[in-house]
Amino acid sequence: MKKDNCYKAVFIRHGQSEWNKTNQFTGWTDVDLTEEGRAEAKKAGAALKQAGYHCDLAFTSYLQRAIKTLHLVLGEMDQLWIPEHKSWKLNERHYGALQGLNKTDTARKYGEEQVKVWRRSYDVAPPPLATDDPRFPGRDLRYAQVPPSVLPAAESLRDTEMRVLPYWQEQVAPWIRQGKQVLIVAHGNSLRALAKHIKQISKEDIVDFEIPTGVPLIFEFTADLTVIRDYYLYQEKTT
């Protein structure tokens, strides 16, 4: 939607997931939303409706916590009918061999500093999954169309940016330039990677940049997609 020469996009990190609740590294593990996560998604949709938002099209990942959040948001907005595009390129950063481990236990074992580097540094990837690990994405039917050589076994934020950014530039940005309002429901780190580019956050400062679950983050752009301002529709805790 283009209002007063202002181009807009809405980003939402999925609502609380089962593994956010149990504090486990999740990455590409396809866990469900919790009851609280579903409530967060509905609250986001109701707030967008209340604020008069209309979305022309929506984008999400291949993971159910994002897809279900999108549907709960659109349901509240009475806009379940809009076109939606799913891509594995919007998936969470792949957390490699850390997936499934408890974050506090991992910090006890490897130290807080090391875990902070794995979670928040720009270019350090966590230890990779073995390619014969049953959890390797190449073994999952949903990625059957993706060449196995481009499927990750672990990703740094930089690696995540390398897959998310071309998707943004080729599949999302052209719609915004045409004046369409887009809604992107994705993940903590895939959205951090995107925000890093859009807001031109340095690799030093991205370490402290967090996105809470289930709260609409609104971007307003000029016609050439320079950010005018960005803000949360309301304040909420970080999960």
40, 76, 92, 161: which is the annotated catalytic residue? Answer: 92
Among 16, 26, 69, 181, binds ligand 3PG (CB under 6 A): 26
Does the protein bind ligand 3PG through residue 119 (CB under 6 A)? yes
Three-state SS for the chain is CEECCEEEEEEEECCCEHHHHCCECCCCCCCCECHHHHHHHHHHHHHHHHCCCCCCEEEECCCHHHHHHHHHHHHHHCCCCCCEEECHHHCCCCCHHHCCCEHHHHHHHHCHHHHHHHHHCCCCCCCCCCCCCCCCHHHCHHHCCCCHHHCCCCCCHHHHHHHHHHHHHHHHHHHHHCCCCEEEEECHHHHHHHHHHHCCCCCCHHHHCCCCCCCCEEEEECCCCCEEEEEECCCCCCC
Of the candidate residues 15, 126, 188, 214, the single one contacting ligand 3PG (CB under 6 A) = 188
Single out the residue of 25, 136, 143, 221 in contact with ligand 3PG (rule: CB under 6 A): 25
- Under the criterion CB under 6 A, does residue 60 sit at the interface with ligand 3PG? no
Residue with the shortest CB distance to ligand 3PG: 26
**Of 100 and 179, which has the nearer Cβ to ligand 3PG?**
100
Q: Say if residues 221 and 9 touch (Cβ distance below 8 Å).
A: yes
Smaller CB separation from ligand 3PG, 17 or 79: 17
Smallest gap from residue 95 Cβ to ligand 3PG (A): 5
14 is catalytic: yes
Query: Is 197 part of the annotated catalytic residue set?
Result: no
Answer for which of 40, 76, 92, 161 binds ligand 3PG (CB under 6 A) is 92
Looking at residue 237, its amino acid is K
Candidate list 69, 160, 181, 189; residue touching ligand 3PG; CB under 6 A: 189
Binding positions for substrate: 13-20, 26-27, 65, 92-95, 103, 119-120, 188-189
Q: Which residues bind ligand 3PG (CB under 6 A)?
A: 25-27, 92, 95, 119, 187-189
